A and B are shown apart, each in its own frame.
Chain A
Amino acid sequence: MTDWLSPDEWRAVALSLRVSLWAVAASLPFGILTAYALARWEFRGKQLLNGIVHLPLILPPVVTGYLLLLTFGRKGGVGQILDQWFGIVLAFRWTGAALAAAVMAFPLMVRAIRLAVEAVDPRLEQAAGTLGASRPWVFLTVTLPLILPGVLAGTILAFAKAMGEFGATITFVSNIPGQTQTLPSAIYAFLQVPGGERQAARLVLVAVGIAMAALMLSEWISRAVARRIAGR
């Protein structure tokens, strides 16, 4: 494997996978909660929440990256607290790349899960309630199993988005090989130097391969889940 990818290229691929997996894993609980809240609850500021969640989808990624830098940078409000109290630094670290990827992928994840929640018949949840299940139990035993295909679809979509995230990442955590140089950043870097097309092309192949594999996996899983739910 390392034969046809140089150590630098290999590091970029590994870093991208790590960043994307962490981004998706860490944001999934929040994604499910947000999707559920948007689909089912009526509360003040619902439209505001909806807007904030979708903002990264509409804003130029560079703007999102800059806002992240302002907020989570060492001098930023949240960044300062994280640094001084917990010793956590996000700017120019791989964790910052994961945060950027998570923020950018969040709207896609929430949209997919929200659609799934809206498709669940609330009358089934009512029925579970009359059978003695409290709200959290209703969610765990009825809602969650029924939205599982949507959750999987949202997760894969978010993963693919995280793998491809570029603008916000490079603005927030820069392009440091081995530290914050993800797959897209590496392709960009190789294209900046003369004679780098060959390396870029290899990374492009890897990116396409990972994306296709993720897509096929999600198809396969969601079909299996749908079969289970449909019965037989």
Chain B
Amino acid sequence: MTLSVNLSHRFGDFALDVAFEAPPGVTVLFGRSGSGKTTVVNAVAGLLRPDRGRIVAGGEVLLDTETRTFLPPHRRRVGYVFQDARLFPHLTVRQNLLYGRWFARHRGPDSFARVVDMLGIGPLLSRRPAALSGGEKSRVALGRAILSEPRLLLMDEPLAALDEARKAEILPYLELLRDELHLPILYVSHSMPEVARLATTLVLIEAGRVAAAGPTAELLADPGAAPVLGLREAGAILTARLAAQDEDGLSRLESPAGTLWLPRVRGKIGDSFRLRILAQDVMLATARPEGVSALNILSATVRDIRLGDGPGALVQLEAGGEVLLARITRRSAGALGLHAGQKVHAVLKAVSVAQENVGHGPPEAMPPSPASWPRQG
């Protein structure tokens, strides 16, 4: 099911004017606070009536200002996970979870037990929201939205109100959701690690407009999109399989670009991971470096060099069919005489890949417990 959104709306001196398609998978709306992401999601949910626009979900028109079509929120079958959970305080967790199901007209097979199990909220069922922690509330809100039998899930920064430990607790569940339920998800975020771990499609929103949109891996590897994403956040995504857990605390991962050694990655041998490699953590060498401490040296070909306004340059590399980004200085680029088509070696320090940038691919194993995730600053 594809969601197609075309909106324009003004409030005060802020003008929103966006159009994008959200194919199946997780589509992340990424942008600064105040860029209009939440407005878009609210319009899709029917909580906001835009001045002009057309929203179609899987063939059904939710909104069309031309024909004066406006489906009220309760008939849109759109599950909405709010940033602030919004659980009903007078109902128990079980009643909260079943609230949407009670109104659902298209009841599928009873998935209550499965969703409760997946989110690990079985022990909370008889409690009321006041007695839940922030992370537990988020999970219940997630379950409540899923159980309302939606055809589309909206998430407005569901992790923003949580601390790092709680985020690490929820993220694996979201990955599970993406890979198991096959529910299209429209996800608002301004956190790059979340984008890299969850997004299949990325829509960059800047000051009420779509600055760039496309498949996440492509967009993150596009030096042209890097200024919009923020240069410090620029970095491509590698997919890799866990091949071995070494004695000294390192994990060996095999990617099409080559072998990588990273600090212990939790998971079973054969599990697939999405690794976000920050451009600023990649060094380039024209000859294979000898006698360096960095463990990961990948052979690559320069595809493109983008010079910025400042002293920096973004180099797009290709290694075994995967794309990498490296951020170096213009001076180095000149000194090395870099040009498209050149063979280089990309050097990556093992410890520079933070755990938050390692996400599960298809989940063959249950997510790791939060306590086992080392925190890295």
Query: Could you tell me which A residues sit within 8 Å of B by CB distance?
Result: 121, 123-124, 126-135, 137-138, 141-142, 145-146, 228-232
Given A130-B45, A131-B144, A231-B130, A123–B82 Cβ distance below 8 Å?
yes
B78 to chain A, nearest CB (A): 6
Given A124-B86, A146-B90, A231-B89, A131–B130 Cβ distance below 8 Å?
no
Chain B residues near A229 (CB-CB < 8 A): 89-90
B182 to chain A, nearest CB (A): 20
B window 64-90: CB within 8 A of A = 72-80, 82, 84, 86, 88-90
Q: Is the CB of A141 within 8 A of B130?
A: no
Chain B residues near A128 (CB-CB < 8 A): 88, 99
Q: Is the CB of A130 within 8 A of B130?
A: no
Q: Is the CB of A228 within 8 A of B90?
A: yes
B235 at interface by CB-CB < 8 Å: no
Q: Is the CB of B127 within 8 A of A231?
A: yes
Q: Is the CB of B89 within 8 A of A146?
A: yes
A150 to chain B, nearest CB (A): 13
How many residues belonging to B are interface residues under a CB distance threshold of 8 Å? 32
Chain B residues near A145 (CB-CB < 8 A): 90
B131 at interface by CB-CB < 8 Å: yes
A74 to chain B, nearest CB (A): 48
Q: Which of B88, B104, B127 touches A124 (beta carbons < 8 Å)?
A: B88
B100 at interface by CB-CB < 8 Å: yes
Q: Which of A124, A129, A146, A231 touches B74 (beta carbons < 8 Å)?
A: A129
Given A132-B104, A231-B128, A123–B84 Cβ distance below 8 Å?
yes
Give A229's nearest chain B residue, CB to CB: B90
Q: DSSP majority for the A interface?
A: helix
A141 to B102, CA, bound (A): 11
Chain B residues near A127 (CB-CB < 8 A): 80, 82, 86, 88
- Count of A-B contacts with CB under 8 A? 78
Q: Is the CB of B80 within 8 A of A231?
A: no
Q: Is the CB of A132 within 8 A of B103?
A: yes
Q: Which of A129, A137, A141 touches B73 (beta carbons < 8 Å)?
A: A129
Q: Is the CB of A130 within 8 A of B103?
A: no
A127 to B73, CA, bound (A): 9
B269 at interface by CB-CB < 8 Å: no
B57 to chain A, nearest CB (A): 14
Q: Is the CB of B78 within 8 A of A130?
A: yes
Chain B residues near A142 (CB-CB < 8 A): 88
B25 to chain A, nearest CB (A): 21
Give B132's nearest chain A residue, CB to CB: A231
Q: Is the CB of A131 within 8 A of B89?
A: no
Q: Is the CB of A132 within 8 A of B100?
A: yes
Q: Which of B73, B84, B128, B129 touches A130 (beta carbons < 8 Å)?
A: B73
Chain A residues near B99 (CB-CB < 8 A): 128, 131, 133, 141
Chain A residues near B102 (CB-CB < 8 A): 132
A197 to B54, CA, bound (A): 77
Q: Which of A124, A130, A132, A141 touches B47 (beta carbons < 8 Å)?
A: A130
B251 at interface by CB-CB < 8 Å: no
Q: Which of B47, B127, B129, B131 touches A126 (beta carbons < 8 Å)?
A: B47
B148 at interface by CB-CB < 8 Å: yes
Ordered by A's residue number, 22 sampled pairs between the chains whose C-beta atoms are within 8 Å are A121-B86, A123-B84, A123-B86, A126-B47, A126-B73, A127-B80, A127-B82, A130-B45, A130-B78, A131-B79, A131-B148, A132-B102, A132-B148, A133-B74, A133-B103, A142-B88, A229-B89, A230-B89, A231-B129, A231-B131, A232-B130, A232-B131
B351 to chain A, nearest CB (A): 42
